[in-house]
Amino acid sequence: PPSSSLAGKKIVITAGPTQETIDPIRFFTNRSSGKMGYALTKAARDFGGNVTLISGPTSLEKPDGVSVVNVKSAQDMYEAVLAEFSDADVVIKTAAVADYRPRVVHEQKVKKKDGDWVIELERTVDILKTLGEKKESQFLVGFAAESQEVETYAQKKLKEKNADMIVANNVTEEGAGFQTDTNRVTVYFKQGDVKPLPLMTKDEVAHRLIMMISEQLEKGREN
Ligand code: PMT
C-alpha cells in the first residue's frame, strides 16, 4: 500500500522463543516457532516500513529486505531491543520471552547422580514493561499469550506495561497461538476499543494488525 503511514518508519519486531542456559548441554525454552513475528515482519516491510527483526532461535528463513539481529537469551533480547528503541517509531513484541532463568549457569556439564536435581530460577527483565517506562513517541505493541481469562489479563497488561495495543491469543484454542500456521487474536487498544479478529492464517492476522497500527499512527498524526 503506497500511502501507508508506516512508509519509512522504523519498526522493531521481536519474534521466537528465548533460550536460557542451564549448562553446555541443556537450556529452558518455550513453544514459540517465530511464525507470528516473522509474518508481522514481512507485512510491516510490505507496508513500506524500515524493519529490524530481533529474533530468538527459530528454524525460519530470514525475510528479505529487513535487518535481522539474532539473540538467544531474554537478557540478549533486552539489550538488542534497547539498542534499537530510541529512534524506533513502532515496537511490536511478539517474542515469547522467558520470565525465569536458572540462577546458576554451570560452565561444565552437570553429571547425573542419584536423586532429584532442583534448579532454582530467577526472574528475567520484563522488556515490554521497561519499554513502557522509557517510551516517548514510540507506538508500543505487546502480545499476551494466555490460557484463561484472556480479556482480564490483556487489559491488565495494557495498563501495567503502558502499551498502546495488546494482541491477545488464547494458546489453548485450536488453531491459535504457538506453532500453528493460523491464529485467532483479539486486539485491545489503549483508548478502550476491543477488536476481535476471526481465525485466519498468521500472514492474514499480521496484515490486519499492521493495518491497524498504520491507522493508529495516522490518527495520532491528526490529533
Ligand atoms: O511464534 P509462534 O509459534 O508463531 O507463536 C506465536 C505466539 C503465541 C508466541 C505469539 O502470538 C504470542 O502470543 N507472543 C507473546 C508470547 C508471550 O510471551 O506472552 P506473555 O503474555 O508471556 O508476555 C506478554 C508480553 O510481554 C509479550 O509481548 C512479551 O514479548 C513481553 N515480555 C514477556 C516477558 C519478558 N521477560 N519480557 C517481555 O517483554
Does 131 fall in a domain?
Answer: yes
The burial of 102, by beta-carbon neighbours within 10 Å (0-12 exposed, 13-18 middle, 19 or more buried), is given as: middle
Is 4 within a domain?
Answer: no
Own/partner pairs, 27-33, CB within 8 angstroms, 24+ separation: 28/98, 28/100, 28/101, 28/102, 29/57, 29/98, 30/96, 30/98, 30/178, 31/96, 31/178, 31/179, 32/56, 32/58, 32/95, 32/96, 32/178, 32/179, 33/58, 33/59, 33/60, 33/178, 33/179
pLDDT at 67: 98
Q: Determine if ligand 1 sits within 6 Å of the CB of residue 39.
A: no
Residue with cell 513475528: 37
- Range of 147's domain? 10-98+119-222
Amino acid at site 168: A
Average pLDDT value for the chain: 96
From residue 136, give the alpha-carbon distance in Å to each of 8, 87, 133, 160.
19, 10, 9, 16
> ipTM exceeding 0.90?
yes
Q: Is 127 in the pocket of ligand 1 (CB under 6 A)?
A: yes
- How far away, in angstroms, is 112 Cα from ligand 1 center? 33
Residue 191 lies in a domain: yes
Residue 2 included in any domain: no
Cell numbers found for residue 149: 481469562
On whether residue 113 sits in a domain, the answer given is no
Q: Answer whether residue 1 shows pLDDT above 70.
A: no
Residue 104 covered by a domain: no
- Kindly state the average pLDDT of the residues 143-152: 96
Average pLDDT over residues 206-217: 97
* Polymer length in residues for the chain: 223
| pLDDT at residue number 3 | 63
Question: What is the total count of domains within the chain?
Answer: 1
> Quick one: which atom of ligand 1 is closest to the CA of 153?
21
User: Residue 130 domain-assigned?
Assistant: yes
Q: Let me know if residue 84 belongs to a domain.
A: yes
For residue 139, the domain's CATH number is: 3.40.50.10300
Q: Output the CA 114–ligand 1 centroid distance in Å.
A: 36
220 Cβ contact list (under 8 Å, min separation 6): 139
Strand partners, 160: none
30 is catalytic: yes
Q: Please, which pLDDT band fits residue 222 given cuts at 50, 70 and 90?
A: confident
Digit-coded pLDDT (tens) for 28-67: 999 999 999 999 999 999 999 999 999 999 999 999 999 9
Single-letter amino acid, residue 8? G
